[in-house]
Structure 1
Amino acid sequence: MDLRFLLFVFVCAIRCNDANGLSAQFLQDYFADKFIHQIVVFACYNHLERVSLSRQLMLSDTKLSYISISENINMKTTLAVNYYKLGIVLDLDCTKSEIVLDKFQKERLPYNESYFWMVISKDSMPPIEILRKLPLTVETEFTLALHHDEIYVLYDVYNPSYRHGGRLNVTYMGVWNPLDGLSIKLTQYKYKRRADFQGLHLNFSIALSNPPLPDLMTYISNPINRHLDTMHRFNYALLLQLRDYYNYTMILTQSETWGYLINGSFNGLLGDMIKGLVDVGVTPLQFKRERIDVAEFTVQTYLARPSFFLRHPKKTSVRNGFLKPFREEVWWIVVAVGFIYWLILWLTSKLELYYRNRMPFSKINLEVGFETGFICMAAISQQGLTDSPRLYSGRIVFLSLFVWALLLYQFYSASIVGSLLAEPPRYINDLKDLLESNLEIGIDDIAYNYDFFATTSDPVALELYKRKVAPNKYRKKPAFYNHTEGLRKVKKGGFAFHADVNTAYKIITLFPAKHVATVTSKHSPFKKMVTYGMRQIMEHGLSERLMHVWQYRRPICPKTHSSTPVPVALGEFLPATLLLLMGLIIAVAVLSVENFCKRCKYPEQLSCNTYVIPGFKNQADINMYIQGHS
């Protein structure tokens, strides 16, 4: 009797080891195909079965955790994902198997791509009633294996969206047997074979900057006034393509804002996503650090190019326009050469006075220093004179001075005229150059720009806002304008307006281009679905076609624009006016001083209306001077 019992136990142990060896080989092949090396097993095996299964799987370098099913299982701790993928094996024939599914659902763990489920059963048909209650999604990795003898028949199980009332889908995947191993028939990419949502209703939301007239659907569907809300309407057209690709129904609502963090919580579109009211955003959002925790970014569908539009001014500096033709060292050389000519003229005038018996025969000889200095100034400024030297040496110096001054004046005047005809150099190349210019600044009055200046850490942008946008004693309110008013100011000149190119091009860069993407709610099962669909749309050229529909091209500058005369601004002519005014003031001052000195020195002659020529001691000197000039 004892011998028979021992034989029975031995046979059962062999069968059990064979069964566990078979299960281990199947699990090893399946999870190796999925590149998964960490598995958690929920089953009702005895100690010998657990040891046998663990030993077989660990030989293939697979980490295995065996969890006995009980009411006290902490699923979040047990299924903590230290890797991107974790395999979960559930023996559905175990009497307590539903506890695992209930616990997984109650602890709000998602059926996403972090968990690859392998549910094993010996039933002949899939347990539809159990599977229908599971909150599966389009991204679920859930495989059902029906075990018959040594064969495992595999089924792919998913639901487009249990939360939205989707239908359970159980599709034959393949088979496994000890001889042929694993044979998978579903070779299409997951989101391509699951593309039919069968009209499932999904929630979308759009945030607009302008009122949708005459109604929301007409406004976003028709390319009329396409410079308004271009980015949102273009992305809506892309999502219509995605709708046709996946066969879902869009339930569209309008949000007040894109979604900004205010007092620790998000408003607008992102706030609705957090509340579970919105699945996918029609309005693409910019990548921002605080948004990563509440939204999933998919594909960059639109390149927003907010830029500064301006009529490039002529460069202003401390040097006025009348000093620009020559560099500083050239001006110093001109002064030095003029001083040398003055010394030579002064010397020849002294020699002339000496060889004429010290008698002043010309006006130059009366006040040699002043007169020769005025001759040099007159030559450089192309003015005429009433007298000239008498000696040949003085005349040669005089002639060479005027020839030199003539050439200098020709270069100077040609440079002035050329600078007025030539296109001004482009010196505003980035935000810092714009900050240092004398241009006024205006910003497009949209929510994004307010948020940008409130959250940016760029020191140049902050300084730009402080100096040229924020209210001050000269500016009573922030320099935010609608696009029409802002571009009208640009047209007048002296003003730079920041707006998106598609808005401005209809009416007519210095911030970096902003990359925006279609977003879904955080941990959304539709993230990869939207990503794959958008990639297909963009790679097939559909987005490029929509670009031509919704975006304005850059205006072409007419060829005649460069030949249009540009009037000289008052600021460029002002130095000449100031110089003239200074000359008048100095002349009047000198005249007053001379008049005062004459009255003090010759009061008798002035009262008798007698004119005294300085430098002549008597009438004989005057007669000799007259004979010398006759």
Structure 2
Amino acid sequence: MFHIILLLTLFGPCVVVKGFMNTELALIFFRGKHLKHNVVLTCSEKKGQVEILKNLTKEKDMVISVKLIKNLDIHGSIVFDYNKAGVVLDVDCVGAEELLIRSRRYRVFDTKTFWLMLHSSNNYGHLFRYVNLNVDSDIKVAYPANDSEISNKKYTIDDVYNQAYEKDGEFKSKEAGFYDTQYGYQVLEKENKYFVRRNLTGVKFRSAVVVPDPIDGSLDDYLRNDRDLELNPLNRFHARLMQYCRDYLNYR
């Protein structure tokens, strides 16, 4: 028995990272999404890799390769020339956190790369401390619903992101669904993710304002008031626009 984590996309390849692996879950994803090209990234030795391949190549129309996480060539392994790509990562594997950090430079946490990560518990936030999970990223984390569910193969699925990693954004996670052997992978995403993630509390944006003439009172009052709108109109317009956005989205 292996434990797997995986990620599915409507079009494009899927990457599986092994360590805590369930091959039944993998095949359900592959079949359901009709994925033809798949890459398995594993921390298993060769014997374990062969077993993974045997379990994942039951579908004759699937092409699957296996690679190790250690010293992985990220650009050659999970950066694809496809419109959409899937990455499945077992974050229990040694080196998985380092892989996530190295992946930052390749812009693989975006709208066209879909991730599913498997962890042995719901205590996984520390793995993403230095990872730029942008507001447009699509990343799910699966973990056993509770200790007694490990053998029953029931997982909770969380949606995770950080609205603005480089602007003091905070890591966010929210339960999105579940997986079990009876109902399969159940994640309903009825709402637009940008609407769901619209609250930018804690995020900081910095900008410069040019004031050509001396002013009375504070800069904030000067930018907000409606007197002499013909003076310095562009700076005042953009400042007013940012204030409206700040009031609505809660950033600082």
Per the shorter chain, which TM-score range? 0.7 to 0.9
Specify the alignment match of 1:177 in structure 2.
Answer: 180
Map 1:38-57; keep pairs closer than 5 Å.
39-45=38-44, 46-56=48-58
Specify the alignment match of 1:117 in structure 2.
Answer: 115
For residues 527-560 of structure 1, give each alpha carbon's deviation from its aligned partner in whole angstroms, at most 9, with x where no partner exists: xxxxxxxxxxxxxxxxxxxxxxxxxxxxxxxxxx
Do residues 138 (structure 1) and 135 (structure 2) align?
A: yes
CA 1:131/1:161 → structure 2, altered by over 3 Å: closer, same or farther? same
2:70 counterpart letter in structure 1? S
Do residues 165 (structure 1) and 165 (structure 2) align?
A: no
Map 1:100-499; keep pairs closer than 5 Å.
100-105=99-104, 107=105, 109=107, 111-121=109-119, 123-147=120-144, 148=150, 149-206=152-209, 210-211=212-213, 213-214=215-216, 216-249=219-252
Per the normalisation by structure 1, the TM-score is 0.32
- Cα distance between partner residues in 1 of 2:209 and 2:112: 30
Specify the alignment match of 2:78 in structure 1.
Answer: 79
- Cα distance between partner residues in 1 of 2:153 and 2:107: 33
- Cα distance between partner residues in 2 of 1:53 and 1:95: 23
For residues 411-439 of structure 1, give each alpha carbon's deviation from its aligned partner in whole angstroms, at most 9, with x where no partner exists: xxxxxxxxxxxxxxxxxxxxxxxxxxxxx
For residues 268-305 of structure 1, give each alpha carbon's deviation from its aligned partner in whole angstroms, at most 9, with x where no partner exists: xxxxxxxxxxxxxxxxxxxxxxxxxxxxxxxxxxxxxx
2:109 counterpart letter in structure 1? Y
Question: 9, 27, 30: which is aligned to 1:28?
Answer: 30
Deviation at 1:130, TM superposition (A): 1.9
CA 1:41/1:246 → structure 2, altered by over 3 Å: closer, same or farther? farther
Indicate the SS of the match to 1:67: strand
Indicate the SS of the match to 2:128: helix
Asked whether the equivalents of residues 159 and 167 of structure 1 are also in contact (C-alpha less than 8 Å), the reply is: yes
- Cα distance between partner residues in 1 of 2:169 and 2:86: 25
Q: Which has the higher strand share?
A: 2
For residues 132-159 of structure 1, give each alpha carbon's deviation from its aligned partner in whole angstroms, at most 9, with x where no partner exists: 3433332232211114333232111112
- Cα distance between partner residues in 2 of 1:36 and 1:202: 40
Indicate the SS of the match to 1:195: coil
Deviation at 1:87, TM superposition (A): 1.3
2:26 counterpart letter in structure 1? A
Indicate the SS of the match to 1:244: helix
Asked whether the equivalents of residues 101 and 130 of structure 2 are also in contact (C-alpha less than 8 Å), the reply is: no
CA 1:212/1:113 → structure 2, altered by over 3 Å: closer, same or farther? farther
Deviation at 1:203, TM superposition (A): 2.0
CA 1:102/1:120 → structure 2, altered by over 3 Å: closer, same or farther? same
- Cα distance between partner residues in 2 of 1:212 and 1:53: 74
Q: Gaps spanning 5+ residues in structure 2: where?
A: 5-20, 145-149
Specify the alignment match of 2:70 in structure 1.
Answer: 70
Per the normalisation by structure 2, the TM-score is 0.72
1:246 counterpart letter in structure 2? L
Deviation at 1:56, TM superposition (A): 4.8
CA 1:16/1:81 → structure 2, altered by over 3 Å: closer, same or farther? closer
- Cα distance between partner residues in 2 of 1:82 and 1:127: 30
CA 1:101/1:85 → structure 2, altered by over 3 Å: closer, same or farther? same
Indicate the SS of the match to 1:135: coil
Asked whether the equivalents of residues 135 and 163 of structure 2 are also in contact (C-alpha less than 8 Å), the reply is: yes
- Cα distance between partner residues in 2 of 1:246 and 1:36: 38
Asked whether the equivalents of residues 42 and 49 of structure 2 are also in contact (C-alpha less than 8 Å), the reply is: no
2:132 counterpart letter in structure 1? P
For residues 453-477 of structure 1, give each alpha carbon's deviation from its aligned partner in whole angstroms, at most 9, with x where no partner exists: xxxxxxxxxxxxxxxxxxxxxxxxx
Asked whether the equivalents of residues 157 and 178 of structure 2 are also in contact (C-alpha less than 8 Å), the reply is: yes
CA 1:246/1:84 → structure 2, altered by over 3 Å: closer, same or farther? farther
Asked whether the equivalents of residues 57 and 64 of structure 1 are also in contact (C-alpha less than 8 Å), the reply is: no
- Cα distance between partner residues in 1 of 2:95 and 2:60: 26
CA 1:142/1:180 → structure 2, altered by over 3 Å: closer, same or farther? same
- Cα distance between partner residues in 2 of 1:17 and 1:199: 37
Indicate the SS of the match to 1:23: helix
For residues 55-90 of structure 1, give each alpha carbon's deviation from its aligned partner in whole angstroms, at most 9, with x where no partner exists: 25774x6x654321222x222232323123221111
For residues 352-395 of structure 1, give each alpha carbon's deviation from its aligned partner in whole angstroms, at most 9, with x where no partner exists: xxxxxxxxxxxxxxxxxxxxxxxxxxxxxxxxxxxxxxxxxxxx
Aligned pairs, number: 226
Specify the alignment match of 2:8 in structure 1.
Answer: none
CA 1:17/1:92 → structure 2, altered by over 3 Å: closer, same or farther? closer
Aligned Cα RMSD in Å?
Answer: 3.3
Deviation at 1:39, TM superposition (A): 4.8
CA 1:87/1:240 → structure 2, altered by over 3 Å: closer, same or farther? same
- Cα distance between partner residues in 2 of 1:29 and 1:230: 58
Q: Which has the higher helix share?
A: 1
1:52 counterpart letter in structure 2? K
Asked whether the equivalents of residues 90 and 118 of structure 2 are also in contact (C-alpha less than 8 Å), the reply is: yes
